[in-house]
Structure 1
Amino acid sequence: MANSLHVKKGDRVKVIAGKDKGLVGDIIEVLPEQGRVIVEGVNVVKKHTPDRSQQTGGKNKGGIITTEAPIDASNVQLVVKVDGKEVVTRVGYERRDVTKRRPDGSEYETTRSVRIARKTGKEI
């Protein structure tokens, strides 16, 4: 699996496949090694944890904890705002010319890759 995904932490995404299809949420965490993302309010699971308060000195009381589990990054699509509406879009990449500064103060021209929304053509 590639170490780069089309979405980043903080992006607003819509789930396009699976049991939570249609839900929209923000990305909490990105796991590029596994090609997965954790989206707020999506793929919510209940985790049963044992009481470890004696070992940790009062922490980790135990019980049932509700948390989000990772989903595959291919099952989410980026959401962008267009005229006040939220629209799903694919992600494209463009190389843009930029001027960078070296530690000694000199400047040089180079390019950097930016994400663009395919529907609007604007930088994300």
Structure 2
Amino acid sequence: MNIHKGDLVQVITGKDKGLQGKVVQAFPETQKVIVEGVNRVKKHEKVGQTARGAKTGGIVTVEAPIHVSNVMLVVEHEGKKVVTRVGYRRTQQERRLPDGTTKTVTRSVRYSKKTGEDI
């Protein structure tokens, strides 16, 4: 999945089209994400009592999951926020081992397809 927890995304379709928010939680197995302030729904919770005696429950508003295909990543480029697709590129890096020698390793890096910069 191209979108990770903590990413800034913009909704591209649906009732919240155009809204931006931070990804609070990602569910790779179902290809869904929860975005802060987006896809808010009313949920009826049973009234209960906390350890301190306060009442909880009633009708609460929470963010519901939204499919990852309905959001796009937002990156900052030259002082502006740009909506972009995500790509992966393999890069060679030098890694120092505990004994002082170096080893070349291959890493997968996310990058912005619009700007070409690493994310």
Q: Structure 2 length normalisation: TM-score? A: 0.90
How many angstroms does 1:123 deviate by? 0.2
State yes or no: 1:17 paired with 2:5: no
Trace 1:65-80 onto structure 2 (pairs within 5 A).
Answer: 65-80=60-75
How many angstroms does 1:77 deviate by? 0.4
Identity value in percent: 55
The one-letter code sitting in structure 1 at the alignment partner of 2:66 is I
2:108 aligned residue: 113
Structure 1 gap segments, 5+ residues each:
none
Structure number with the higher strand fraction is 2
Q: Structure 1 length normalisation: TM-score? A: 0.86
How many angstroms does 1:46 deviate by? 1.3
What is the distance in 2 between the residues matched to 1:27 and 1:94?
23
Q: 1:36 to 1:59 in 2, by over 3 A?
A: farther
Q: Secondary structure at the match of 1:9?
A: coil
What is the distance in 2 between the residues matched to 1:60 and 1:105?
60
Structure 2 gap segments, 5+ residues each:
none
Q: Secondary structure at the match of 1:50?
A: strand
Q: 1:46 to 1:105 in 2, by over 3 A?
A: farther
CA RMSD, aligned part only?
Answer: 1.6
What is the distance in 2 between the residues matched to 1:101 and 1:31?
34
